[in-house]
């Protein structure tokens, strides 16, 4: 499934680059002044309130050597509140930009399930909350606006392991998390379609990881490694908008999503990649969200 997601993200990117290869647009070197001007301009766009409800399915993945048992799939319900800024006339009338900050609260439970999807894994019940920053570019169409969005954030979880481990080692790993607050990070990628100025529908993939322990400098080194790459993509945005004026929203989304996919796949084995550390507890989510903007 992750291979399919990666292909879904990367193939449009290569196709659109090839499509624009013969473009007559002259490449302009990166300008720090343009970057600052874009930041200052975005501050002038008025905030709107955003509230969203999500429902989806999540798989738990824990690659520690002491974990032998399969963990049951969980279903999630989430409520999210925050602020969104939408520039409906970004560079051209057919181009739009979205930025948003939100806080969320969610329940992930093996018991909010449908019999069809029930399995025999160890059951869990988790409460999660945190904060995300989202941005992305999109297009206008006759049926609304479609944004290609990417987000990153910080979160905390309290997880209840409802069954005993199959070994002393496995139970010790469960005890590290069981009913305790644990810190983590996440990324999210997908599509948001606004049918009008108020109502939108999201289709999203989210990968959250939670750490058995917080390793200060290793965490910050790992966190900053991805942040620097992501901000570098933002820094060069102005140049690539000029070079690929029609396909930039998809190219930008593909680049940011692939960076996060790569980092988080590597973090499954080492939570503070590229630094040596133990595996985190991962939640792989596929969800649908309905949002109201007002």
DSSP reduced 3-state for 137: strand
Q: Do you know the residue count of the chain?
A: 294
Decide if 146 contacts 139 (C-beta within 8 A): yes
Q: Read off the pLDDT of each residue in 25-54 and give the average, rounded to a whole number.
A: 68
pLDDT tens per residue across span 275-292? 999 999 999 999 999 999
Q: Is residue 116 within 8 Å of residue 124, measured between CB atoms? A: no
pLDDT at 45: 77
Residue 118 predicted with pLDDT over 90? no
Q: What is the pLDDT of residue 35?
A: 60
**Is the previous residue joined to 213 through a cis bond, with omega within 30 degrees of 0?**
no
Does residue 5 have a pLDDT over 70? no
CA nearest neighbour of 282 among 202, 178, 212, 203: 212
Q: How confident is the model at residue 125 (pLDDT cuts 50, 70, 90)?
A: very high
Q: Report whether pLDDT(104) > 90.
A: yes
Give the helix/strand (H/E) hosting 261. Answer: helix 248-267
Mean pLDDT over each residue of the chain, to the nearest integer: 85
Look at the block and give the residue holding tokens 């400098």: 217
pLDDT at 242 exceeding the cut of 80: no
Separation of alpha carbons 207 and 62, rounded Å: 13
HSE of 199 in the Cβ direction (CA atoms, 13 Å)? 3
- Per-residue pLDDT of 203-213, as tens digits, reads 999 999 999 99
> Which pLDDT value is given to residue 78?
97
Q: Using pLDDT thresholds of 50, 70 and 90, give the confidence band for residue 165.
A: confident
CB 186 within 8 A of CB 157: no
Above 60 in pLDDT, residue 183?
Answer: yes
Give the model's pLDDT for residue 16.
45
2 pLDDT higher than 90? no
Q: How far apart are CA 119 and CA 38, in angstroms?
A: 50
Q: Which two three-digit tokens encode residue 240?
A: 């690539």
Residue with tokens 């399969």: 70
Q: What is residue 19's predicted lDDT score, i.e. its pLDDT?
A: 47
Percent of the chain with pLDDT over 70: 81
User: Strands, DSSP E only, in 64-198?
Assistant: 74-87, 95-109, 124-141, 144-161, 181-194
Domains along the chain with CATH numbers: 47-221+277-293 (2.40.160.20)
**How do residues 43-93 score in pLDDT, each as one tens digit?**
667 889 999 999 999 999 999 999 888 999 999 999 999 999 988 876 666
């Amino acid at each position: 499934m992750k291979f399919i997601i990666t292909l879904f993200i990367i193939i449009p990117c290569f196709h659109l680059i090839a499509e624009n290869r013969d473009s007559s647009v002259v490449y302009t070197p990166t300008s720090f002044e343009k970057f600052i001007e874009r930041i200052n301009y975005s501050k002038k766009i008025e905030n709107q309130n955003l509230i969203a409800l999500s429902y989806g399915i999540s798989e738990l993945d824990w690659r520690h050597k002491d974990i032998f048992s399969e963990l049951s799939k969980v279903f999630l319900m989430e409520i999210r509140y925050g602020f969104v800024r939408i520039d409906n006339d970004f560079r051209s009338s057919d181009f739009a930009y979205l930025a948003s900050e939100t806080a969320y609260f969610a329940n992930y439970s093996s018991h909010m399930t449908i019999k069809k999807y029930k399995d025999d894994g160890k059951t869990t019940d988790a409460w999660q909350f945190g904060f995300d920053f989202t941005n992305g570019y999109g297009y206008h169409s006759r049926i609304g606006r479609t944004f290609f969005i990417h987000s990153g954030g910080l979160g905390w979880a309290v997880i209840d392991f409802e069954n005993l481990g199959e070994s002393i080692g496995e139970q010790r790993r469960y005890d590290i998390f069981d009913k305790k607050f644990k810190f983590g990070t996440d990324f999210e990628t997908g599509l948001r379609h606004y049918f009008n100025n108020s109502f939108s529908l999201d289709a999203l993939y989210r990968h959250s990881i939670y750490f058995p322990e917080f390793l200060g400098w290793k965490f910050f080194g790992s966190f900053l490694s991805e942040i620097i790459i992501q901000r570098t993509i933002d820094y060069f945005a102005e140049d690539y908008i000029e070079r690929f004026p029609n396909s930039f929203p998809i190219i930008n989304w593909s680049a940011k999503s692939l960076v996060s996919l790569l980092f988080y796949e590597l973090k499954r084995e080492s939570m503070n990649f590229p630094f040596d550390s133990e595996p985190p507890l991962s939640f792989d989510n596929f969800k649908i969200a309905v949002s109201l903007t007002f």
